[in-house]
Structure 1
Amino acid sequence: MTLNLASESGESDMNASVNEPRLWRDNGWTARVIKNEDDDGWAVEMVKDGEPEPALVGPWTMGRDKKNPKPLDTAAFHTLVKTASEVLRRHEQQLHAMHHKSVTVTAAGERITVTLDIVPDEDDPHAMLGAHDATGEPLARVRVAAGFKLSSASASAWIADDFRRPG
């Protein structure tokens, strides 16, 4: 089956649904059954539209002839989309956790939340250290080195130093 993805403007139409035995494209995702590089079997890769790399690559079931892959179908595609979406969500959560930290300390009888937001810029990596009172009102915000280690001790020391930029 040949699929013409060229639109009237001459650009490829990545929104067009494709439902082929080894290629499915729908709802912003593409599933492609590929030869498994590690053995004689098959694999499936899931690519989110606009992304250069697959979000998920996993083994794929052999067909009845034990040579060719089992064809993709609606149920399998929806399961693959759900799994690949979960992988991306976990990755985003992990990145967020790596770049955004917070601790809450008590200083002068007041609970203060200190946050560290790392900016992983290739040319100018840095972080922003911030403090908020119990109602969420900002108390201070300063730029620090990207390698600044936020802990209860470093937060308390920063507060005790009247929120001066740590050295």
Structure 2
Amino acid sequence: MAIKEPRRWRDNGWTARVIKNEDDDGWAVAMFKGREPEPALVGPWTMGRDKKNPKPLDVSAFNTLVKTANEVLRRHEQQLRAQLHKSVQLTVGEQRWEITLDIVPDEFEPYALLAAHPLHGGHVSIDGPVAERRVRPDFKLSPRSAADWIESDFGPAR
């Protein structure tokens, strides 16, 4: 249900709340996605003409806040993906390879999957990896560790 009040707007799965800034006399706006308990974005909010109360929310401001909050979430997801997925490409002998490391951040038993994908014409084989091995989540993937793994015929990775 849409809400369009001067200090609270809810629409399209987002809620904006204008709140008193605890650090000074100013105001802030917090953007919540769905029913998430923590805001996706908190930023300063403009004072109204009386220089005491906040400027009321309006459709233009709300749409801008939604766009900005979505961008913040998108960047956060990209950063998380970059932390959990690593890859290197290298040539060993006559074969070009892409070695991937995908970290599975399980709460109780985190691990990573090391996989070897042959490259043909610069593209990963559609047949999937030729080897896959479960490794420690802190495994350091580098061109040297990837080459060592390939040269050991995909034995235990070190």
Q: If the TM-score is normalised by the length of the shorter chain, which range does it land in? A: over 0.9
Q: Give the corresponding residue for 1:39.
A: 24
Contact 1:102 1:115 in 2 (8 A): yes
Residue from 139, 145, 151 that aligns with 1:154: 145
1:87 and 2:78 are equivalent in the alignment: no
Q: Which runs of 4+ in 1 moved over 3 A?
A: none
Cα offset for 1:51?
1.8
Alignment of 1:35-114 (within 5 A): 35-114=20-99
Structure 2 gap segments, 5+ residues each:
none
Report Cα offsets for 1:62-102 as digits up to 9, x if no partner.
Answer: 00011100000000000000000000000000000000000
3-state SS, counterpart of residue 46 of structure 1 = strand
3-state SS, counterpart of residue 64 of structure 2 = helix
3-state SS, counterpart of residue 80 of structure 2 = helix
- 1:164/1:50 CA distance change after superposition, 3 Å: farther
Cα offset for 1:109?
1.1
Contact 1:126 1:145 in 2 (8 A): yes
What value does the CA root-mean-square deviation take over the aligned residues? Answer: 0.8
Q: Give the corresponding residue for 1:143.
A: 134
Q: TM-score, normalised by structure 1?
A: 0.89
1:27 and 2:12 are equivalent in the alignment: yes
Structure 1 gap segments, 5+ residues each:
1-15
AA matched with 2:148: A
AA matched with 2:88: V
Q: TM-score, normalised by structure 2?
A: 0.94
Aligned length: 152
